[in-house]
């Protein structure tokens, strides 16, 4: 996603002129970007050089990348796990993975994990994955179950699907023991277009209002209606921010993505200027290309809610901190990032198509999956090299090109977060209640 046409692409790639396509929404393009207005910290600041952060927060065109410690220092990683991934809304999976009453899953969130469960009324609950007896995990992180109650595997305390304590073996009639005091610790949870988000802190600003602009972009694609037909997991030896920064620019595309450049001009499109905790932009498809695939053809069906512009463009957005949504004319690709260490990230990638596409005889999602699997691996290779490069004690933050304005937006989100203003904790008129035990 680029917005400055004056830098020529690498000469080895043939780039056709950009087709004139109107922006997808009236949201203004990003340049010029104003300097960040200081606001009071709401969390402890990260243990990182404030002068380096100030350089990252300079106006676009004058700023530098984040201090090197942001990519290599385990202390910064620990701070991020607490204040970014467990300090506000983060994506923990898909509604379709908990479709039925009794479905349960435990997913990592920050340094710990969260238990998700669907109750008999179809409501989704999120709970700290720690038993109220002596703290055993209710499910192993990454595990799933399908049963009518939540059962701790240690001493078999049993909880209702809505988190209330059902039975505590041996406690019946014990003086002073009140079942209502020992329900699971409930956390805020929201389903948004088929994605599940949990606020691990219980203190984040409400999610839907912060995403109102993004909702306008995403709603026509109806991701909640689509069916996941392809999945890949990648274990990348790179910091999660390097992966996200890479996602936000196509400055690198002529160098490492020959297949992508054949179907989408790498310097096409614009970036949005969102007011919420997301960053993104759109790019064109070349004339004659229907979607992002190796030959530009689609073996699916166009998504029914799209207008003429939506059928000629691809939207790329990142919702802070861990989900990348890539909206195509005929499918939606989602990358969900789970940081494993300061230099290692799990990436779960899915491809979802209209149900009508899956009904086509012999439908094969490979046209989309294979294209992006090739492109993903090219990206991870570059990101892993950046990680190795930044391990040098001589690495220092560099400047951003005019084509990297969305990287600037992401970097400033992170830098403000390090200064005590994480994106989901920025000034709210009202704060939701603290996480509370189910009673």
Residue (134 or 388) nearer to ligand FES, CB: 134
Q: Residue 379's binding partner, choosing from ligand FES, Fe ion, none, with beta-carbon cut-off 5 to 8 A by kind?
A: Fe ion
CB 239 within 8 A of CB 343: yes
| Matching residue, tokens 């779960």 | 348
Q: Does 160 bind Fe ion (CB under 5 A)?
A: no
Candidate ranges 73-81, 133-141, 197-205, 375-383; the one touching Fe ion (CB under 5 A): 375-383
Longest dimension (CA), the chain: 80
Smallest gap from residue 73 Cβ to Fe ion (A): 26
Q: Residue 157's binding partner, choosing from Fe ion, ligand FES, none, with beta-carbon cut-off 5 to 8 A by kind?
A: ligand FES
Q: Does 379 bind Fe ion (CB under 5 A)?
A: yes
Sheet holding 185-187, edge to edge: 144-146, 103-109, 112-118, 124-128, 185-187, 436-437
* 241 phi, psi to nearest 5 deg: -75, -35
Nearest to 185 by CA among 199, 196, 173: 199
CB 274 within 8 A of CB 216: no
Give contact residues for ligand FES (rule: CB under 6 A).
131, 133-136, 152, 154-157
Q: Residue 438's binding partner, choosing from Fe ion, ligand FES, none, with beta-carbon cut-off 5 to 8 A by kind?
A: none
Candidate ranges 59-67, 283-291, 337-345, 372-380; the one touching Fe ion (CB under 5 A): 372-380
Smallest gap from residue 135 Cβ to ligand FES (A): 6
CB 258 within 8 A of CB 416: no
Residue (217 or 260) nearer to Fe ion, CB: 260
CB 90 within 8 A of CB 76: no
Residue (155 or 231) nearer to ligand FES, CB: 155
Candidate ranges 44-52, 216-224, 327-335, 378-386; the one touching Fe ion (CB under 5 A): 378-386
- What is the distance between the alpha carbons of residues 166 and 150, in angstroms, rounded to a whole number? 9
Write out the DSSP string of 243-283.
Answer: HHHHHT--TTHHHH-HHHHHHS-TT--EEB--SSSEEEEEE
Provide the sign of the torsion angle of the four alpha carbons 286, 292, 294, 298, taken in this order.
negative
- What is the distance between the alpha carbons of residues 221 and 55, in angstroms, rounded to a whole number? 38
Smallest gap from residue 355 Cβ to ligand FES (A): 41
Q: Residue 231's binding partner, choosing from Fe ion, ligand FES, none, with beta-carbon cut-off 5 to 8 A by kind?
A: none
Smallest gap from residue 154 Cβ to ligand FES (A): 4
Provide the sign of the torsion angle of the four alpha carbons 73, 75, 78, 79, taken in this order.
negative
Smallest gap from residue 156 Cβ to ligand FES (A): 6
Residue (147 or 377) nearer to ligand FES, CB: 147
Smallest gap from residue 127 Cβ to ligand FES (A): 13
Residue (305 or 381) nearer to Fe ion, CB: 381
Q: Residue 127's binding partner, choosing from Fe ion, ligand FES, none, with beta-carbon cut-off 5 to 8 A by kind?
A: none
Distance of CA 282 to CAs 30, 58, 377, 407, 439, Å? 12, 25, 21, 14, 46
Q: Residue 154's binding partner, choosing from ligand FES, Fe ion, none, with beta-carbon cut-off 5 to 8 A by kind?
A: ligand FES
| Matching residue, tokens 């799933």 | 144
How many residues are present in the chain?
A: 439
Q: Residue 133's binding partner, choosing from ligand FES, Fe ion, none, with beta-carbon cut-off 5 to 8 A by kind?
A: ligand FES
Q: Which residues bind Fe ion (CB under 5 A)?
A: 379
């Amino acid at each position: 996603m680029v917005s400055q046409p004056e830098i020529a692409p690498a000469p080895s790639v043939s780039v056709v002129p950009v087709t004139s396509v109107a922006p997808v929404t009236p949201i203004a393009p990003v340049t010029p970007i104003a300097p960040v207005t200081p606001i009071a910290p709401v969390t402890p600041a990260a243990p990182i050089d404030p002068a380096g952060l100030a350089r990252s927060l300079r106006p676009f065109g004058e700023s530098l990348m984040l201090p090197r410690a942001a990519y290599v220092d385990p202390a910064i990683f620990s701070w991020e796990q607490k204040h970014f991934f467990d300090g506000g809304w983060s994506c923990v999976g898909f509604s379709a993975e908990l479709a039925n009453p009794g479905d349960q899953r435990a997913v990592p969130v920050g340094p710990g994990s969260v238990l998700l469960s669907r109750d008999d009324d179809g409501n989704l609950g999120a709970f700290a994955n720690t038993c109220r007896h002596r703290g055993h995990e209710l499910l192993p992180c990454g595990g799933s179950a399908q049963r009518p109650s939540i059962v701790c595997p240690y001493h078999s305390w049993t909880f209702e699907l809505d988190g209330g304590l059902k039975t505590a073996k041996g406690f019946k009639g014990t003086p002073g023991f009140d079942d209502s005091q020992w329900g699971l610790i409930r956390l805020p949870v929201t389903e948004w277009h088929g994605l599940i988000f949990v606020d691990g802190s219980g203190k984040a600003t409400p999610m839907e209002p912060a995403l109102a602009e993004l909702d306008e972009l995403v709603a026509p694609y109806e991701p909640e209606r689509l069916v996941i037909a392809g999945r890949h997991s990648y274990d990348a030896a790179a910091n999660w921010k390097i992966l996200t920064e890479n996602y936000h620019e196509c400055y690198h595309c002529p160098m490492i993505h020959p297949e992508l450049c054949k179907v989408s001009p790498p310097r096409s499109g614009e970036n949005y200027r969102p007011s919420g905790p997301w960053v993104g932009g759109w790019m064109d498809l070349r004339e004659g290309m229907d979607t992002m695939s190796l030959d530009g053809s689609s073996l699916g069906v166009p998504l029914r809610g799209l207008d003429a512009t939506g059928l000629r463009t691809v939207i790329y957005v990142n919702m802070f901190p861990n989900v990348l949504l890539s909206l195509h004319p005929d499918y939606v690709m989602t990358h969900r990032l789970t940081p494993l260490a300061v230099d290692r990230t799990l990436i779960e990638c899915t491809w979802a198509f209209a149900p009508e596409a899956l009904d086509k005889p012999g439908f094969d999602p490979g046209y989309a999956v294979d294209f992006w699997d090739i492109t993903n691996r090219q990206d991870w290779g570059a990101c892993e090299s950046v990680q190795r490069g930044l391990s040098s004690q001589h690495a220092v933050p560099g400047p951003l090109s005019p084509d990297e304005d969305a990287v600037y937006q992401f970097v400033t989100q992170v830098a403000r977060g390090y200064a005590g203003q994480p994106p989901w904790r920025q000034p709210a008129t009202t704060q939701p209640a603290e996480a509370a035990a189910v009673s």
